[in-house]
Amino acid sequence: MNNLGKTVSQRQLRVGEMIKQSLSMIFLKEEAKISNLDTNKITVTEVRMSPDLKTAKAYVLPLGGKNANEVVEILKEFSFIIRKVLSKKVELKFLPKLIFVKDESFDYAEKIENLIKQTHKRI
């Protein structure tokens, strides 16, 4: 794996996976009380840690992909609440700052799949 030319350490991967699982459980059990948001329908697809483990970039997508940008904006706005709940779930020297990002990988995969289908139709 690469992060702008730098390899990702095992520790980054391990901590990222731990944060991902914890965030998924927080959303699933609706432990973070966020008004106007049904968190149990949010999927955390990946969490990438910065090399110093002080920043976690969480890639999220609501069920069905509908209103994804709105959901990400709400998560960004209430990240301090989510971070507070997360602090009770994980034991780290420094609790990372959470950055929520819309996961574009499914859109990209669908685009590639459509291109492959178009190519097969031409043959």
pLDDT, tens digit (0-9, with 9 covering 90-100), for 81-96? 999 999 998 988 889 9
The domain total for the chain is: 1
- Range(s) of the domain holding residue 83: 2-122
Rounded CA separation 81/87 (Å): 10
User: What percent of the chain is modeled with pLDDT above 90?
Assistant: 50
Q: What is the CATH number of the domain that holds 30?
A: 3.30.300.20
104 three-state secondary structure: coil
Rounded CA separation 60/32 (Å): 15
**Per-residue model confidence (pLDDT) at position 1:** 47
